[in-house]
Structure 1
């Protein structure tokens, strides 16, 4: 139905057989490429780059055609109503001359907006890194940590990368922030540990004087691959965990570490993945052993639903939680300070950016990499820099 109405719009505005055949052949090629990729890729391979681009081009062409369907179908509805009025009512209602062609031109013009946006998202948007900076004040922040800077990154998804120069630019941009500590909140791969092999030499260059700490995300467990055996899955999981020390990160598996500065300290707590409807290996109680309520705490938890359902009202009082996972669905509209929208907000209450409840904060990072759709439209890859301040709480 989408293809039929989209082609009707094209036919109305052009008589060129070449354009029509190019339109048809391109549509067929996109569908065939998707089906070929689906049927020739073994499930043991996980989500491949070939699948990402097949799905990406399908979305790039299909969503604009959906716009055409809505407008052209709507115009058909109006025409039917006019016909009914003509048959049952007095007088005669005639459509304006050339109205169909005019509507088709409007529809094609509007459809061009998502088409160019998605095309840009694939070519440029996936590497359009943005540094987002926040300053958060806490009454009980130890004095020594006033002005302490945290860089958060999340959702690297190394199995999707294709351009080492662009990734190196992103890593250099992270180092340019000169933060005291770097925290990575999960999903270092799509599925398999070997996806990171070509990128270790890039990501091992992070610099942070007070250390680099990380956790696991839902994709790091290998749950989305049809493994040949349980042993293969178990080995892959172990290999994923071993990636972190190779790039200089201390992987926290339901554990915590204290950062000391001038005789004072804050706690860095890292849980395994806990998500609504996903793997729930995260154990907040286990991760917080040895920590007191009065200690200042930064929690790393990959999925923001953990904060919503478990963390934000916990009696131990986690001052700041850092999450990722949503990617902001990699598509949406954001006008800073005025408007933002993404389909992700219908799934996650906290889907991107900084939120506060009960005097406790969560930042949901939009992700460094990309997954499924090989691009980003309006929701750009993010590097978060948070500066902790001693003072009256922002809440």
Structure 2
């Protein structure tokens, strides 16, 4: 008996593989890279169709476990709705249950010729479930690619590294540059009022400063600036015209509000006199606020403003950010223990960019791209080129994630022999 039917071949990612006419070397049936689901009509006898259905999917539902691990390792787990993951698992189970009715473990028919009608209905339902799985997985991939784009708040820390006074001077120059870049992108910034006064004073030095940034897409872009920035030039303090190499480190931490819940009963709030300049207000008023998280013992302080209630709000914000970041790092460590290659995290020990003033050149070592007119760049006159570099890095990051997903698919699908 021959059956002519249109078989929708199973695929997880519409962008991972290209369309082919038969299983590739990994035993995977694929469709093209466009969103439209491709079909191919095949005319086979019932036994060949059963074999094709068996090869169009994996034999065990273990891929869901591997894919869920991939989501956790790349911090995508919260991007995928529980409803969609449940719907995917339920559809997968339905497919396997119907497939067991059609084919036995050795790939042979489990019923006699009198059950051809029932088997035909089961095959049609099985193919319908395959098409539904393709659509669900397309939605899952769309949600996974959203990843951190909805994080519109981050903590931006700049710190002078190796190089002494020259490093602190360059840190101040980078700080001014990023302030202009933040304005260029329409983001908002929150910082110490006293520190804002030296924003444009290039002769001042900066050892460390942390600012809070709010704005659409600020974290996905600024995270590519995290790392070590190296400067090569003749310092202002150099008497003999020698070129020095100094470094400045930048850390970009996403502010995540939903990882942990901070209870007021777990907080110990103390007030005391602020330290540093400030006149009689510092000596007479208890403006500094210190908060201790009793379950973990972590402590933060705030004395940025002259008012206690404002410092309390800032300290609470710092505590929530700290606890969320600790939880975020803990989840990352647990997931990455089983994986060698890390994705999407900038290593602060590696230089990402070199600013060579004698050669009038800026080199991004991740792209091997060079920019010139370094004075104009540092003055904030070429923020558009700076944005282009970051956009390229974001594209490379997603390409790397696609590659990781492809490798995951190739390793965890059951390899089937070609027809």
Q: Kindly indicate whether structure 1 or structure 2 has the higher relative contact order, using CA contacts under 8 Å at least 6 residues apart.
A: 1
TM-score by length of 1: 0.27
Higher-Rg structure is 2
